[in-house]
Amino acid sequence: MPSRPEAPAIAIIVGSDSDLPVVDRATQVLRRFDLDSEVRVASAHRSPEYLRRLVRDGESRGWRVVIAAAGGAAHLAGAIAAETVLPVIGVPLDASPLRGLDALLATVQMPPGVPVATVAIGEWGMHNAALLAVQILATADEELRSRYREEKASLAARVEEKDATLGGEQS
């Protein structure tokens, strides 16, 4: 496995290269905070040994939080959480006729002892997974925390602007 000496704090692992299109949603969010991520493909089912080595190597190189996105009977996030003490955010993807409900249940319903912070299915989940990763890093980074506060303030301002376009009329 290609190994680099220093890694970004955020890793995004997907179960297949067919999942890669949704990764953009997360990397765009991270870029707003000037954060890089390391995007990797590894499967809990098809390449369990490779996944294990990837996670152990990533943790030793400096990953601090892992976003794991997979579809179908998605055990990726749980399998990663089994190998590391890093926080793992699971993103269920819509990749089968069950439209992500299968991945949601497989990802969210972890037995006690091995938590996975599961977010929404698909693009919304990728977006929020990136924000959650920023929040986790921000617990030990005052500058990042302050930027996150600004992000929330601008979110609120955008809602108020949209409301203002209605002319402030009450129904």
- Positions in the binding site for ligand RP5 (CB under 6 A): 14-16, 18-19, 43, 70-72, 93, 95
Q: How far apart are CA 143 and CA 34, in angstroms?
A: 12
Give the nearer residue to ligand RP5 in terms of CB position, either 19 or 38.
19
Q: How far is the CB of 69 from ligand RP5 (least distance, A)?
A: 7
Give the nearer residue to ligand RP5 in terms of CB position, either 71 or 78.
71
Indicate the residue whose CB is closest to ligand RP5. 15
Q: Which two tokens stand for residue 126?
A: 């990728």
Q: How far is the CB of 70 from ligand RP5 (least distance, A)?
A: 3
Q: How far is the CB of 8 from ligand RP5 (least distance, A)?
A: 21
Give the nearer residue to ligand RP5 in terms of CB position, either 8 or 122.
122
Which residues in 41-51 are b (16+ Cβ under 10 Å) and which e? Answer: bbbbeeeeeeb
Residues facing residue 67 across a β-bridge = 12, 89
By CB atoms closer than 10 A (0-12, 13-18, 19+), residue 118 is buried
Residue 170 neighbours by CB distance under 10 Å: 5
Q: How far is the CB of 7 from ligand RP5 (least distance, A)?
A: 22
Give the nearer residue to ligand RP5 in terms of CB position, either 29 or 70.
70
